[in-house]
Amino acid sequence: MANILITNDDGIHSDGLLALYESLEPVGKVTVIAPDRPRSASGHAITLHKPLRADKVPLAGGAYGYSSNGTPADCVCLGALKIVEGPVDLVVAGINRGPNLGFDLTYSGTVSAAMEAAVMGISSFAISITTHEAEFGFGVAGAFARHVADILLARKLPSGMFLNVNLPDAPSEQITGVEITRQGVRHYDGRVETRSDPMGRTYYWLGGDLPVDVLEEGTDVKAIADNKISITPIDLDLTATAMIESLREWSVTQFPLGPAR
């Protein structure tokens, strides 16, 4: 039976994590280890300077999981190297409440958990619904998670690669297809708000504004705008290959080396 490790960045008691657990349970032995509190937008942080805990806690529906004071990436490390007995065949992060599209990937704890698995050489994917309200529930996302899990357990992803899956904010009958996409452009403008506390001191709040999407064909943001399920293969290799020649032309390499100075 396949060993599946699931985590998220919304916290151990998130309904999306429970939906993921229930949808993957028929596929293998599922171990849950997730942050003890919301850790969205925590990126790929790992904890090096304080003790990490993983306490067994009951989940809704009778199952149990491990609640950790660590980050999503910590949970993947702890789960794969300590908690799960034997090798982990698949890591799934989600089901996240909220999109992970375009530049979101650089902030996302959900995506970073899948990325950490890729670093460790374990097949993985991140899965998100592109709404924070989840008014249509996690039914389609759960079924799609199982569909992708079946495929990744049968086929090996190339080393250093993983998948980023997003589902549109729509009921199943309005979802128009499944598209393999590339990472698009989504950025946040005017995202620092200035406010005043009761003592009259200034404070700031990040992330208030709506994202700006560049709706280019073939991208994750465009597929979601078209009510499609988006699957983007992601590579740990962040090299901008197109820049290599330009950098040479900019004479960056022409730097006099030699005697110490």
Which residue's CB is nearer to Mn ion, number 8 or number 232?
A: 8
CB of 139 to Mn ion, least distance (A): 19
> What does the binding site for Mn ion look like in residue numbers (CB under 5 A)?
9-10, 40, 96
Nearest C-alpha neighbor of 230 from the set 105, 72, 88:
105
Nearest C-alpha neighbor of 224 from the set 258, 261, 189, 176:
176
Which residue's CB is nearer to Mn ion, number 31 or number 100?
A: 100
CB of 2 to Mn ion, least distance (A): 25
In terms of Cβ atoms closer than 10 Å to its own Cβ (0-12, 13-18, 19+), residue 258 is exposed
What is d(CA 213, CA 215) in angstroms, rounded to the nearest whole number? 6
Which residue's CB is nearer to Mn ion, number 3 or number 108?
A: 108
Which residue's CB is nearer to Mn ion, number 94 or number 168?
A: 94
CB of 128 to Mn ion, least distance (A): 8
CB of 43 to Mn ion, least distance (A): 12
Contact 226, 254 (CB under 8 A): no
Which residue's CB is nearer to Mn ion, number 40 or number 123?
A: 40
Task: Report the interhelical angle of 139-154 vs 15-24 (nearest 10°).
Answer: 50
CB of 86 to Mn ion, least distance (A): 29
Residue 83 exposure: Cα atoms within 13 Å on the Cβ side: 28
Contact 58, 22 (CB under 8 A): no
Contact 184, 220 (CB under 8 A): yes
CA max distance for the chain: 70
CB of 85 to Mn ion, least distance (A): 28
Instruction: Give the residue nearest to Mn ion (CB).
Output: 40
Which residue's CB is nearer to Mn ion, number 17 or number 231?
A: 17
